[in-house]
Amino acid sequence: GASAVQVGSAYLLCDEAKTSSLHRYAIASERAQHTAVTNVFSGRPARGIVNRAMSELGYICESAPKFPYASIEMTQLRALMEKQNRDEFTPLWCGQNSSGCKEVSAAEMTLSLVEGIDLN
């Protein structure tokens, strides 16, 4: 069996999370079923919900600026699009399974995760 798990994405919709409204909407939508590892937003590989930037630049883009410059290069375009309530150039970080994301407190999320653990 598994000796560890990574559940950070489960907390993205929690009340305490600083997740933007655009990001929250994407996580709660069917789009969240389509994720890929990309380096176009940060210069390093990370998993996110597929959007226009990832599709058009390629998930792993050899010409993407190295960390931290990729994020800096995307800032103006991202800001312009976000003002129009569009997320095509916004990093929508999310793991492979967003179905566990719930709009509850972080404490409630933690308790629900712990309740699901079989300690025997």
Burial of 102 (0-12, 13-18, 19+ CB in 10 A): middle
Between CA 106 and CA 113 the distance in angstroms is: 11
Secondary structure tally for the chain: helices H, strands E: 4, 2
pLDDT of res. 120: 58
**Confidence grade of residue 4 (pLDDT, cut at 50, 70, 90):** confident
- Domain-wise residue ranges, the chain: 18-98
pTM (predicted TM-score): 0.89
> Tokens for 66?
């190295």
Residue-wise pLDDT tens digits, 71-116: 999 999 999 999 999 999 999 999 998 988 999 999 999 999 998 7
Q: Is the peptide bond before 68 cis (omega within 30 degrees of 0)?
A: yes
Tens of pLDDT along 19-76? 999 999 999 999 999 999 999 999 999 999 999 999 999 999 999 999 999 999 999 9
64-70 own/partner pairs: CB under 8 Å, 24+ apart: 64/39, 64/40, 67/42, 67/43, 68/42, 68/43, 69/43, 70/39, 70/40, 70/41, 70/42, 70/43
